[in-house]
């Protein structure tokens, strides 16, 4: 897969599918691989469109140590041929998703910045 040039500099990004639990109601969107993120982040509009129900609260620490709390949601997430049920995510005002280490640590990821390409495997 190729890095997306929609980001500057280009970033590893791919299409994911998010679905409301116990429902066929789903949508696809772009997600950027973010090894720094402890948890996957989804855009706020997805919460509204899928009518996700908050399940918990976490304290989120950003890069400058700033701390805010956010509601979490359980969602079914799939990418390529991989499917993950009941992934706990937080939402933010953004257009794409961030795939955090909660998902990335389940995969073998190879990033090739030289060729701006990457691969995801589930060994």
Q: Which two tokens stand for residue 80?
A: 């390529």
Nearer CB in complex with other proteins: 18/41? 41
Nearer CB in complex with other proteins: 1/53? 53
Compute the least distance from the CB of residue 59 to other proteins, in Å: 5
Compute the least distance from the CB of residue 112 to other proteins, in Å: 21
Nearer CB in complex with other proteins: 22/115? 22
Nearer CB in complex with other proteins: 114/122? 122
Question: Residue 115: which residues within 8 A CB-CB, separation 6 or more?
Answer: none
Strand partners, 48: none
Q: Which residues bind other proteins (CB under 8 A)?
A: 20-23, 34, 36-39, 41, 44, 47-48, 51, 53-64, 66-71, 74, 85-88, 90-94, 98, 100
Compute the least distance from the CB of residue 113 to other proteins, in Å: 18
Q: Side-chain half-sphere of 74: how many Cα atoms within 13 Å?
A: 8
Going by their DSSP bridges, the two strands 97-99 and 82-92 should be labelled as: unpaired
Helix (H, G, I), strand (E, B) or coil at 122: coil
Phi and psi at 56, nearest 5°, equal -165, -175
Compute the least distance from the CB of residue 13 to other proteins, in Å: 13
Rounded to a whole number, what is the largest CA-CA distance in the chain?
Answer: 42
């Amino acid at each position: 897969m190729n890095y997306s040039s929609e980001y500057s500099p280009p970033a590893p990004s791919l299409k994911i599918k998010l679905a409301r639990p116990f429902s066929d109601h789903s949508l696809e969107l772009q997600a950027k691989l973010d090894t720094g993120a402890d948890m996957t982040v989804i855009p706020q509009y997805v919460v509204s469109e899928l009518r996700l129900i908050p399940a918990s609260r976490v304290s989120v620490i950003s890069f400058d140590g700033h701390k805010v709390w956010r509601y979490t949601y359980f969602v079914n997430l799939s990418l390529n041929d991989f499917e993950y049920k009941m992934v706990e995510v937080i939402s933010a005002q953004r257009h794409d998703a961030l795939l955090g280490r909660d998902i990335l640590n389940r995969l073998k990821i190879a990033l090739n910045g030289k060729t701006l390409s990457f691969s995801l495997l589930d060994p």
